[in-house]
Amino acid sequence: MRSRKQYNIQSKEVHNRATGVVLENVGIKDHGYKCLSTVMVTIMFYAASRLTSLFDACQRLVNAPTDEAMRQALLATLPPIDKLERQLNSALRADLPKALRKRRYPLAIDLTLIPYHGEPYLTANEIYRGEPKGGTTHFHAYATAYCVRKGHRFTVAMTRVLANEPLQDVIRRLLQQASRQGVKPRFLLLDRGFHNVEVIRYLQRARYPFIMPTTKRGRKPAIPKSQSIWRFFKSKRSGWGRHTWRNPRGEKATAQICVVCGNFRGKWGRHCRRTFVYSFWKIPQRSYVWFRETYRSRFAIETTYRQMNQARIRTCTPNPLLRLLFVGMALILRNVWVWLHLFCLAKTFRGKLQLQLERLRFRRMLLWLQHYAESLFGIEYFTVAEFPMPP
């Protein structure tokens, strides 16, 4: 086996690695003599690296099939959407290190919303409603589970989210996908959007420890020492507590409360003092700083969404099958990038691996995939004009 110092990664090897992961797990098959599976995957990588559509990618590549042939080939060979989701999760599993299956690590779960300006494809449940973003309140929503191990950030599971779908069902599906891959969480780090009675009751029944920010709900009480959740946000000192929530159906959920107060000079303007309130369950009461810093590690999942959007094929199709495929391909490319840094580019120092992200940035890897596709199919450098250019 070649040493890390003598091994040079080339664009062809990166392409072969990413293509192998997709073809071994995702049901993309040959469709005719032009739309071969390897050809379709290469063109999708090209579109993802340029942040463009399949139409633009097929127009730019000289020897590529037409965009209509690509679309018909994908629709003819891809499995149903539920099976495609399982296959994409299998592709995400291909790059996970074995250490993630041997020990339990914190698992972060969050939603990402992709703005959509159009009508549903088949049913209204395909469109998720949320806060205004990108000039619309309609989205195609996806949830991901994310694990951090010694600086290596892997996406271990993904699923699409339908309109009016209970969040506890989304969490259950993600945890089932992660469990099939052998990943069992030490505890869950959830966004404040998951804070409701139904989610807390489900996590307690399933015996999953969790940490999530507490939300302010209801009117601000007139009496400062009332038993509402507002009393924790008005606290001037860090401390511990316990609170019970009730939903409109009369169901109750009880969790422990950690209040973290501190001065954060230079971070939030001149009002430096902030109060953070976290709900948690089945986690030992450590220091207040530990709770705040542990939950801060969850924000790394926002970086995965930023990188996912750097490699997501743009489309205006209403078909949720193709949209799920394009999101899954972006997450697979990101996992391949993390795998390269873990097994090929990391440096060993005193028995420990040190990441060297500057050696291969994510956008640079995508640029390699773009240049490799251009070398295979050729690129169009001219267009047809009605009149000659003036001298």
pLDDT band at 58 (very low <50, low <70, confident <90, very high): very high
Asked if residue 179 is part of any domain, the answer here is yes
Query: Which pLDDT value is given to residue 221?
Result: 63
Asked if residue 359 is part of any domain, the answer here is yes
Q: What is the mean pLDDT of residues 341-368?
A: 85
Instruction: Using only the alpha carbons of the chain, give its radius of gyration.
Output: 24
390: its two tokens: 């003036």
pLDDT band at 181 (very low <50, low <70, confident <90, very high): confident
Q: Based on the domain organization, do 248 and 301 belong to the same domain? A: yes
Q: Based on the domain organization, do 76 and 100 belong to the same domain? A: no
Asked if residue 224 is part of any domain, the answer here is yes
**Contact (Cβ atoms closer than 8 angstroms) between residue 276 and residue 263:** no
pLDDT band at 77 (very low <50, low <70, confident <90, very high): very high
Give the C-alpha separation, 149 to 156, whole Å: 12
Number of domains in the chain: 2
Asked if residue 252 is part of any domain, the answer here is yes
Query: Which pLDDT value is given to residue 2?
Result: 43
Asked if residue 65 is part of any domain, the answer here is yes
Q: Based on the domain organization, do 267 and 371 belong to the same domain? A: no
- pLDDT of 5 over the 90 cut: no
Between 77-81, 149-153, 200-204, 227-231, the lowest mean confidence (pLDDT) is in 149-153
Q: Based on the domain organization, do 209 and 269 belong to the same domain? A: yes
Q: Based on the domain organization, do 214 and 238 belong to the same domain? A: yes
Asked if residue 6 is part of any domain, the answer here is no
**Which CATH number characterizes residue 155's domain?**
3.90.350.10
- pLDDT of 180 over the 90 cut: no
The 10 Å Cβ neighbour count of residue 130 is 15
Q: Based on the domain organization, do 56 and 120 belong to the same domain? A: no
Q: Based on the domain organization, do 143 and 238 belong to the same domain? A: yes
**Tens digits of residue pLDDT in 287-317:** 888 999 899 888 888 888 999 999 999 999 9
- Closest CA relative to residue 191, chosen from 161, 220, 218: 161
Residues with Cβ within 8 Å of 318's Cβ and at least 6 positions away in sequence, in order, are 118, 119, 120, 121, 126
Q: Based on the domain organization, do 101 and 212 belong to the same domain? A: yes
Range of the domain at 134: 95-305
pLDDT band at 4 (very low <50, low <70, confident <90, very high): very low
pLDDT band at 252 (very low <50, low <70, confident <90, very high): very high
Q: Based on the domain organization, do 250 and 101 belong to the same domain? A: yes
**Tens digits of residue pLDDT in 372-385:** 999 999 988 777 77
Query: Which pLDDT value is given to residue 357?
Result: 84
Give the C-alpha separation, 10 to 17, whole Å: 11
Give the C-alpha separation, 380 to 62, whole Å: 6
Q: Based on the domain organization, do 230 and 356 belong to the same domain? A: no
pLDDT band at 48 (very low <50, low <70, confident <90, very high): very high
- Closest CA relative to residue 145, chosen from 198, 100, 115, 114: 100
Of 305, 332, 358, the last residue of a domain is 305
**Tens digits of residue pLDDT in 272-293:** 678 899 999 999 878 888 999 8
- pLDDT of 32 over the 60 cut: yes
282: β partners: none
**Contact (Cβ atoms closer than 8 angstroms) between residue 91 and residue 25:** yes
Of 112 and 353, the structure prediction assigns the larger pLDDT to 112
Of 7 and 301, the structure prediction assigns the larger pLDDT to 301
**Contact (Cβ atoms closer than 8 angstroms) between residue 78 and residue 99:** no
Of 249, 281, 305, the last residue of a domain is 305
Q: Based on the domain organization, do 118 and 239 belong to the same domain? A: yes
Asked if residue 56 is part of any domain, the answer here is yes
- pLDDT of 343 over the 70 cut: yes
One-letter amino acid at 166 equals P
Q: Based on the domain organization, do 119 and 194 belong to the same domain? A: yes
159: β partners: 143
pLDDT band at 223 (very low <50, low <70, confident <90, very high): low
Q: What is the mean pLDDT of residues 215-244?
A: 78
- pLDDT of 268 over the 90 cut: no
Q: What is the mean pLDDT of residues 29-52?
A: 93
Longest dimension (CA), the chain: 83
